[in-house]
Amino acid sequence: MKAERTYLDWNATAPLRSEARAAMLAALDLVGNPSSPHAEGRRARAVVEDARESVARLVGARPSEVVFTSGGTEANNAVLAGNWATVHVADIEHDSVLAPARASGARIVALPVSDTGVVLADRVAQLMQGAREVSPALLSLQLANNETGVLQPVAKIAGLAREQGFFVHSDAVQAAGRVPIDMAALGVDFLTLSAHKIGGPKGIGALVVRDGATLPAFVCGGGQERRRRAGTEAVAAIAGFGAAAQAAQRDLAGMARVEALRAKLEAEVLEIAPDTVIVAAEADRLPNTSNIARPGTAAETLVIALDLAGVAVSAGAACSSGKVGASHVLEAMGVAPGVARAAIRVSLGWNSTEADVAAFVQAWAHVAVWRRERAVA
């Protein structure tokens, strides 16, 4: 009989919500194509549009602004690979932002980052003062970092950028369902979302495009998604996304409990091993995310040891799990190499429990003691 495992890698992917599973199963029985005018097609279309409304409500947007994609990576690529002359972006962004920006041929301007991983609004203002950017220009700034959980001053910096004529994009994949989001209050033109981070299925996401914002079609060949992304919609996946968005909005109030669990976890980890480093502990962070470093022990070793003890965590972004070396996020923050190479990400979710925290702490204690005993030997 398998021992019960503890899942603490919610930033990589959240477990599928029961509401999303039920919505997907129901949608799989629908026959019609959402673009067909007959009754079967209209039923499928209704499911897509209901989900669009739910996703829009989660981020304070209009349903007409939501474009369904295959996930956050496609949404980020659709924006960053656009016809921009200049792109302002920080090195702490996800690779699905940095890679298309660098490949686009645009002039890249690096946004300054503090040692706690926060983009410095005052420095950004200085950077933009008197700058004569060739249009069109884009500023891309994540709402929350996927590795450290650090929240960014998007509204403030978006205001500065738009005064200079920039379009503004924010990758909100990790923030959605964990902190309240109001797209209009943020002042952004483009917002990226992903279903599987909030308990929906993998392989579906959205790009929210502010009404009036210019963005060329990124998949051509049909009239779907207001001619921005052609192709028959993935009705079942979209239904699951919509159900997950509804549940995530409902569960936002429970994030205070999750934050208390994270605080307990960090306090007990530090008590066991005082030389442990909580990266960006002083910054405003997502309530569920902790980046923990045990100097002297490689992150890969920690992840494997915890996995063998029945606890699932990760070393940096799941998309980069096959890479060897320090995180580009921690490097951009100026984290010491010895700390960066030892950093793991622990991320909780809406149904994480005190038992999950206790399981992690027990496993951590074993790993810490094992390392000390090896060092003495």
Q: Two tokens at 230?
A: 């052609």
**Identity of the amino acid at 154:** V
The alpha helices in 152-284, defined as continuous H runs, are: 154-163, 183-186, 235-251, 255-272
> What are the E-state strand segments in 64-106?
66-69, 86-89
- Tokens 């902190």: give the residue: 179
- Can you say how many angstroms the Cα of residue 326 is from the centroid of all Cα atoms in its chain? 19
Gap between the Cα atoms of 30 and 168, Å rounded = 38
Distance of CA 283 to the CA centre of its chain: 17
- Structure-derived torsion over alpha carbons of residues 58, 94, 331, 188, reported in degrees to the nearest 10: -50
Give the integer Cα–Cα distance in Å for 44 and 30: 6
Rounded Cα distance, 192 and 143, in Å:
10
Helix 72-80 crosses helix 95-103 at what angle (to 10 degrees)?
Answer: 30
Of 83, 81, 115, 84, the C-alpha closest to 98 is 81
The Cα–Cα gap between 54 and 60 comes to 10
Q: Which of 81, 252, 261, 319 is catalytic?
A: 319
Q: What is the dihedral of CA 85, 91, 93, 95, to 10 degrees?
A: 80
Question: Among all chains, which residue has been given the structure tokens 């959605």?
Answer: 176
Maximum Cα interatomic distance, the chain, rounded to a whole number of Å: 75
Q: How many CB atoms lie within 10 A of CB 216?
A: 10
Give the other-Cβ count within 10 Å of 338's Cβ: 12
The separation between CA 170 and the C-alpha centre of its own chain, rounded to angstroms, equals 10
220 is catalytic: no
Cα distance between residue 353 and residue 351, in whole Å: 6
Cα separation, 217 vs 30, in Å, equals 28
Query: Active-site residues: which are they?
Result: 319
